[in-house]
Amino acid sequence: MTSSDPTPDLPRVRLLPKANARAIRHGFPWVYANELVTDRRTRALSPGALAVLEDAERNPMGVVAVNPASRIICRMLDRDPDAVPDRVWFAARLSRALALRSRIYDAPFYRLVHAEGDGLPGLVIDRFGEVAVIQPNAAWAEVRLDDLTAALVEVTGVTTVLKNASGRTRALEGLDDDSAVLLGSAPQAPLPVPMSGAIYMADLTGGQKTGLFYDQRPNHAFAARLAGQGARVLDVFSHVGGFALAMLAGGAGHALAVDGSAPALELAAQGAAASGLADRFETRQGDAFDVLSALAEEGAQFDVVICDPPAFAPSKQALDAGLRAYERIARMAATLVAPGGYLGLCSCSHAADLANFRGACTRGIGKAGRAGQLLRTGFAGPDHPQLPQLAETGYLKALFYRL
């Protein structure tokens, strides 16, 4: 299909009378399976098929991607019911996303597409210079990878495009976990990424997610300011150096990075060496809770402690257990903060909203016998724009306390 094709005669899918059509008209991008008329014709649509969404009175609302196998049965692609989501359409969306990042960042290292936040639901693209890594976490993006890749190259000029299929939501969409090289050749070594005053090493084929987390960039900068000259800092769940390298680049005297993954810590050490920070950087591999306990037994004290764990509450069902884990981390970490020092606690669990997360952290600090001033509430950087109608796009929270 090209932009010169006439608008295709798309099938129609219709909301049930009980569905919240007003929320969808006001920007909510999803239709749940219990909100749609799922007759035999709708159930026969292939995952990722396009359709025109109608309200209960059959008024068209826009073009949606349909996946009858998913709890999110429709994702809004375009409010124009005559839109044609082809290569030209992709290029327009990608151009708009690129314009934002080009205005904010001096170098092409950022999240280029943040799913619904950039009008491309279920699609994530991270850029590493001449390499782009696509995570198609929704069926509609998976079945249009050819058009998407062609438009991505046209708009950005990247020479290598990788597909990362490790996203947790792919299974919910009925998708496989087979990653692939879509264009060019996969990097044979970790790529150096300049960020937060340091060099991070990103493993784009064997690392977590797309290889590096860009979302914490503004929080790295704040932590670096807190650390100041000569500070002793602890970075728990450090991944490839996360906060530790940023704080060292900002003048901290020594950093201990803790993570359960030995390969991640090796990349962190490589990043420290590439940044000229190796003499002040140390790693300890192990379970974070075990390491925190051991450090407390050793009587260790740090001027800044940062904990940036994986999602303890990835779903509503896991919320209570997740909040208990956040409280426990806060309690254990607070005991390691020197008087007058700083504690940073982070959550990437969209199921744990800010109020719940803050409550868990504050309880943990109190149970450690410490009092804390909340200095800053941080979120993901502007290359992770939020869709205000969808809380999931604002998943990251970072709380900075002075104890």
| Marked catalytic residue, from 74, 346, 348, 361 | 348
pTM as predicted: 0.94
**What's the pLDDT score for residue 5?**
41
Query: Is 74 a catalytic site residue?
Result: no
**What's the pLDDT score for residue 8?**
60
Architecture of the structural domain at 87-183: 2-Layer Sandwich (3.30)
Cα separation values, 85 from 3, 77, 82, 226, Å: 9, 8, 10, 46
Chain CA centroid to CA 388, Å? 16
Angstrom distance (rounded) from CA 123 to CA 149: 12
- Written out in words, the top-level CATH class of the domain with range 192-402 is alpha beta
- Written out in words, the top-level CATH class of the domain with range 12-78 is mainly beta
Low-confidence ranges of the chain (pLDDT < 70): 1-8, 207-208
User: What b-and-e string marks burial along 209-221, b requiring 16 or more CB atoms within 10 Å of the CB?
Assistant: ebbbbbbbbbbbb
Question: Which pairs count as long-range contacts for 393-396, CB under 8 Å and 24+ apart, including other chains?
Answer: 393/114, 393/115, 393/116, 393/117, 394/350, 395/348, 395/349, 395/350, 396/215, 396/216, 396/346, 396/347, 396/348
Taking alpha carbons only, the member of 30, 120, 139 closest to residue 385 is 120
Tokens of 157: 């000029």
Residue 208: DSSP 8-state: S
**What's the pLDDT score for residue 90?**
98
Instruction: Give yes or no on whether 12-78 and 87-183 have one common fold.
Output: no
Ranges of each domain in the chain: 12-78, 87-183, 192-402
**What's the pLDDT score for residue 350?**
87
The H or E element spanning position 235 is strand 232-236
Segment 264-275, tens digit of pLDDT: 999 999 999 999
SS3 249: helix
Segment 12-57, tens digit of pLDDT: 999 999 999 999 999 999 999 999 999 999 999 999 999 999 999 9
- Main-chain phi, psi angles of 210, to 5 degrees: -90, 0
